[in-house]
């Protein structure tokens, strides 16, 4: 970050000094900053300042380098140094905002230096917010809500968008699960062993492809070691609301090799177990008659049925670390067994749970190149083998499998007229299969091949970022079966299928994305970020090919390649659509104002997203009766029937706009106050509202530290949501109050107590498919102890 207040005094020096990049890093009072990190951007060269704030780095052969300097509790600075410059005197300003480097971006940037809004959750903040699901972990971040499928399968909702529009990645590679297909499918990641979680709000197709048109959540861990440091952490915790127990630990170390170089090693693991969770007291619950009429979940002794979960997993990794960078490989295994609340057949509740297994291999390398044109290369390979079965009354009903192979190669060039950037090559292949009674989408294969270019340059106090990406996306499925029979709205007229059409499906498209952004340090301690993104998305295989009952959403889902024909007598049938498939196209503008120096800091964002051909499930007014048999553990067969409303994927133009704000005030050295708010308005251009859009939210947080004690009190108020789509109902407002207190015995050991929903508020999440069946948990307390080394 370049600003007039943060200056560099550069002067001529002797020929001997030119062999080194030398300088001092000080604070605004002129005192040296110890252990500040100084990096040469585009290389693996870095060092830390000594007790006098001094640093020294080898000079580069082209005579021009870009330095990035940062330290905890200070602003980040970027400075260009040329061959005729001498030692650098750099001043870093204090900041109350947390400034963190973003790993998920191909070029260097902190969350204050990106034209696109980015939030990074790390350190103690991440540990304090950590929950059993990714959605619940991130739900208090500005612009992010939880889809809340109970505490078992909640995913993040970014600016009202979720599912196939929000990509979940692990160290920059697709999580490779089935969570983007259905709300009742858990995200196959774990927050308790993560180093940081990054949230890219708004289209991120430039870096990640068309599956990221609504944003990206990147979980970063150290399973592939990047350095030689020895460190680790562990945690034990128990929560009262579901007798939730957590054990987690992770650690890194290194070994020196006889032949030169070093070997970095990583090991982590976790185990968690929770029963059905408590819901708020009966005074807040509707009468039994109202409960049954509205189709609410049956509760067992004040607990939500089928909300239990058990999970365990671990990762092992190693890296060969050298002066030029590192090359590393990791293997991870994850298992989850979790109940699926709200699963029913008509009026009959079903005992259903999911049994999930995932194996994941990653190869990651980051290397500096000794080349006249190219300066560095980053490589990521990943293979994920995922499977989960939904087991009803002891028998497997449906099995979902997903094999994902992905490769990403980024090739950075030396500065050209001070433009710095990279070529990106990206390949991904998904082989998805759903087999069983409730396989609402057929087996399909999706392949993506992409080429991207990203560039940035400083013009004085202005940072300009440009990029473009073109993809080739292929979706194929064989032996699709289309039921051509007429169906009636009435039970007695329903009959079995007699006419079936079998066909193959192949679709190829070429989405194109481009972005332009700028960050202007217009005055000391402030900057403005402005970005425009044009992003195109190929509809997912599920959006195109769905044809069947999806009990996770409570709908009979029909893909966009089909259309519904209704007769005058009320009968209806499906046929192939006669219209061409269109790419979903987003034109998004983000405007950010940031203050990052001094005791008061803030980040204000406004966005407008015009999406043409927005694919969403649209009501048809038709009802489909489903019938299927399930065996149980005794081998007996049971027939189930249910009426589901028919919703079909349609492409319509939509507008989404809103704001996000965060204000932080360090009132004294001990007390910090934070105030947040966010809002998203989402509507169709031809009239109507998009479904499950979170309401306006405001929040406040007070943090107090005194010696070894730390306390925090927070509140979030969710306003009423009455902008609703078909079959939705208005969601009442509610307020959640949380608190925690901790005591540090030392720098490496602390004990803590957390309280959630302290007022025992009865709350329903508007973004949830289970809004009317799964209220948020009752008042709870968690006691834990954690340590690090």
Which whole number is the average pLDDT over 680-686?
A: 96
**Reading across the β-sheet that carries 88-91, which strands appear in turn?**
54-58, 20-26, 88-91
Which whole number is the average pLDDT over 230-253?
A: 96
Which whole number is the average pLDDT over 198-210?
A: 89
- Per-residue pLDDT band for 105 (boundaries 50, 70, 90) equals confident
Query: Cα–Cα distance between 54 and 47 in angstroms, integer?
Result: 10
- Per-residue pLDDT band for 2 (boundaries 50, 70, 90) equals very low
CB 379 within 8 A of CB 350: no
Query: Cα–Cα distance between 250 and 315 in angstroms, integer?
Result: 9
List of E strands, 27-160? 37-40, 46-48, 54-58, 64-70, 77-82, 88-91, 118-122, 144-146, 156-158
Nearest to 554 by CA among 182, 250, 23: 182
Burial class (CB in 10 A: 0-12, 13-18, 19+), 18: middle
Which whole number is the average pLDDT over 494-499?
A: 51
Query: Cα–Cα distance between 731 and 724 in angstroms, integer?
Result: 9
Q: In the structure encoding, which two tokens stand for residue 680, read together? A: 């998203």
How far, in whole angstroms, is CA 560 from its chain's centroid? 26
Note the pLDDT tens digit of each residue in 724-748.
Answer: 998 899 999 999 999 999 999 999 9
Percent of the chain with pLDDT over 70: 88
Whether the CA torsion 497, 501, 503, 508 is positive or negative: it is negative
Cα of first residue to Cα of last residue in the chain, in angstroms, is 32
CB 664 within 8 A of CB 676: no
> Does 189 score more than 80 pLDDT?
yes
3-class state of residue 98 by DSSP: coil
Which whole number is the average pLDDT over 683-700?
A: 96
CB 200 within 8 A of CB 104: yes
> Does 29 score more than 50 pLDDT?
yes
Residue 474: the pLDDT is: 97
Nearest to 243 by CA among 310, 187, 192, 305: 310
Residue 664: the pLDDT is: 96
> Does 12 score more than 60 pLDDT?
no
User: Does 288 or 170 have the greater pLDDT score?
Assistant: 170
Note the pLDDT tens digit of each residue in 425-454.
Answer: 999 999 999 998 778 889 999 999 999 999
Q: How far is CA 385 from CA 388, 474, 606, in A?
A: 11, 21, 39
Which whole number is the average pLDDT over 71-96?
A: 82
- Per-residue pLDDT band for 572 (boundaries 50, 70, 90) equals confident
Q: In the structure encoding, which two tokens stand for residue 342, read together? A: 């709200």
> Does 17 score more than 80 pLDDT?
no
> Does 650 score more than 50 pLDDT?
yes
Nearest to 552 by CA among 735, 774, 374: 774
Burial class (CB in 10 A: 0-12, 13-18, 19+), 34: middle
> Does 376 score more than 80 pLDDT?
yes
Q: In the structure encoding, which two tokens stand for residue 244, read together? A: 């939730």
Residue 630: the pLDDT is: 55
41-55, 494-508, 714-728: range with lowest mean pLDDT: 494-508
- Per-residue pLDDT band for 347 (boundaries 50, 70, 90) equals low
Q: How far is CA 331 from CA 223, 269, 519, 700, in A?
A: 8, 12, 39, 40
Looking at mean pLDDT, say which of 287-291, 309-313, 340-344 comes out highest.
Answer: 309-313
Query: Cα–Cα distance between 526 and 523 in angstroms, integer?
Result: 6
Residue 440: the pLDDT is: 87
Query: Cα–Cα distance between 134 and 342 in angstroms, integer?
Result: 20
Chain mean pLDDT for the chain:
88
Which whole number is the average pLDDT over 257-261?
A: 82
Residue 192: the pLDDT is: 92
610: how many CB neighbours lie within 10 A of its CB?
16
With tokens 């999806």, the residue in question is: 550
Query: Cα–Cα distance between 624 and 550 in angstroms, integer?
Result: 12
Note the pLDDT tens digit of each residue in 478-496.
Answer: 988 877 666 655 444 444 4
> 513 pairs with which residues across the strands?
469
Which residues lie closer than 8 Å to 124 by C-beta, 6 or more apart?
none
61-75, 399-413, 530-544: range with lowest mean pLDDT: 61-75
Which whole number is the average pLDDT over 689-704?
A: 97
Task: Please give the DSSP secondary-structure letter assigned to residue 692.
Answer: S
3-class state of residue 718 by DSSP: strand
3-class state of residue 283 by DSSP: helix
Residue 14: the pLDDT is: 35
> Does 165 score more than 50 pLDDT?
yes
How would you classify residue 143: left for phi > 0, otherwise alpha for psi between -120 and 50, otherwise beta?
left
With tokens 């070429």, the residue in question is: 510
């Amino acid at each position: 970050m370049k600003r007039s207040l943060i200056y560099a005094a550069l002067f001529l020096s002797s020929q001997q000094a030119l062999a080194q990049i030398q300088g001092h890093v000080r604070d605004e009072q002129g005192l040296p900053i110890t252990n500040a990190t100084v990096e040469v951007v585009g290389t693996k060269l870095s060092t830390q300042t000594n007790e006098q704030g001094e640093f020294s780095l080898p000079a580069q052969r082209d005579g021009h380098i870009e330095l990035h300097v940062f330290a905890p509790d200070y602003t980040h600075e970027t400075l260009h140094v040329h061959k005729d410059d001498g030692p650098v005197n750099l001043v870093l300003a204090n900041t109350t905002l947390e400034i963190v480097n973003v790993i998920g971006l191909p070029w260097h940037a902190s969350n204050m230096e990106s034209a696109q809004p980015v939030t990074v959750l790390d350190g103690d903040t991440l540990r304090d917010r950590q929950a059993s699901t990714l959605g619940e972990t991130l739900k208090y971040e500005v612009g992010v809500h939880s889809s809340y499928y109970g505490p078992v399968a909640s995913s993040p909702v970014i600016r009202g968008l979720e599912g196939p529009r929000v990509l979940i990645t692990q160290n920059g590679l697709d999580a490779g699960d089935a969570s983007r297909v259905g709300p009742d499918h858990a995200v196959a990641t774990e927050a308790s062993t993560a180093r940081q979680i990054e949230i890219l709000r708004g289209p991120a197709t430039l870096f990640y492809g068309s599956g990221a048109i609504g944003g990206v959540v990147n979980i970063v861990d150290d399973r592939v070691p990047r350095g030689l440091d020895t460190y680790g952490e562990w945690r034990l915790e128990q929560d009262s609301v579901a007798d939730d127990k957590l054990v987690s630990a992770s650690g890194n170390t290194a070994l020196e090799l006889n032949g030169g170089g070093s070997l970095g090693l990583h090991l982590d693991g976790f185990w968690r177990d929770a029963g059905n969770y408590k819901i708020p007291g009966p005074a807040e619950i509707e009468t039994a008659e109202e409960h049954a009429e509205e189709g609410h979940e049956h509760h067992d002794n004040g607990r939500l049925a089928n909300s239990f979960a058990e999970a365990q997993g671990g990762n092992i990794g190693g890296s060969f670390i050298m002066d030029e960078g590192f090359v590393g490989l990791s293997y991870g295994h994850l298992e989850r067994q979790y109940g699926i609340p709200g699963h029913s057949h008509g009026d009959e509740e079903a005992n259903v749970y999911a049994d999930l297994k995932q194996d994941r291999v990653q190869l990651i390398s980051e290397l500096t190149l000794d080349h006249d044109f190219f300066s560095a290369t980053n490589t990521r390979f990943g293979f994920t083998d995922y499977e989960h079965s939904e087991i009803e009354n002891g028998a497997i009903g449906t099995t979902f499998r997903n094999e994902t192979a992905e490769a990403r190669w980024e090739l950075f060039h030396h500065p050209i007229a001070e433009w710095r950037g990279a070529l990106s090559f990206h390949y991904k292949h998904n082989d998805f299969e759903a087999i069983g009674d409730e396989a609402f989408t057929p087996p399909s294969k999706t392949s993506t091949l992409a080429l991207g270019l990203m560039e940035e340059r400083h013009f004085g106090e202005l940072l300009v970022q440009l990029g473009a990406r073109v993809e080739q996306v292929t979706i194929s499925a064989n032996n699709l079966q289309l039921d051509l029979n007429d169906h009636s709205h009435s039970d007695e007229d329903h009959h079995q299928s007699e006419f079936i059409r079998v066909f193959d499906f192949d679709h190829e498209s070429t989405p194109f994305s481009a972005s332009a952004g700028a960050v202007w340090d217009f005055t000391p301690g402030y900057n403005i970020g402005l970005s425009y993104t044009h992003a195109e998305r190929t509809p997912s295989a599920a959006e195109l090919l769905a044809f069947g009952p999806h009990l996770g959403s409570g709908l009979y889902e029909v893909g966009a390649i089909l259309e519904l024909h209704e007769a005058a007598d009320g009968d209806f049938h499906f046929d192939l659509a006669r219209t061409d498939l269109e790419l979903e196209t987003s034109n998004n503008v983000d405007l950010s104002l940031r203050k990052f120096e001094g005791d008061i800091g803030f980040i204000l964002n406004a966005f407008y997203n015009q999406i043409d051909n927005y694919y969403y499930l649209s009501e048809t007014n038709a009802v489909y009766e489903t019938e299927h048999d399930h065996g149980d553990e005794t081998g007996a067969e049971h027939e189930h029937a249910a009426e589901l409303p028919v919703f079909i994927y349609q492409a319509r133009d939509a507008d989404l706009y809103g704001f996000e704000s965060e204000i932080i005030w360090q009132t004294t050295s001990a007390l910090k106050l934070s105030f947040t708010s966010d809002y998203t308005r989402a509507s169709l251009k031809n009239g109507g509202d998009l479904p499950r859009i979170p309401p306006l939210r405001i929040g406040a947080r007070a943090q107090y530290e005194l010696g070894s004690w730390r306390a925090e009190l927070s509140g979030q108020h969710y306003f009423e949501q009455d902008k609703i789509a078909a079959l939705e109902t208005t969601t009442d407002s509610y307020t959640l109050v949380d608190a925690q207190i901790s005591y540090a015995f030392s720098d490496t050991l602390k004990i803590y107590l957390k309280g959630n929903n302290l007022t025992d508020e009865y709350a329903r999440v508007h973004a949830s498919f289970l809004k009317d069946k799964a209220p948020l948990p009752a008042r709870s307390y968690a006691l834990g102890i954690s340590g690090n080394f």
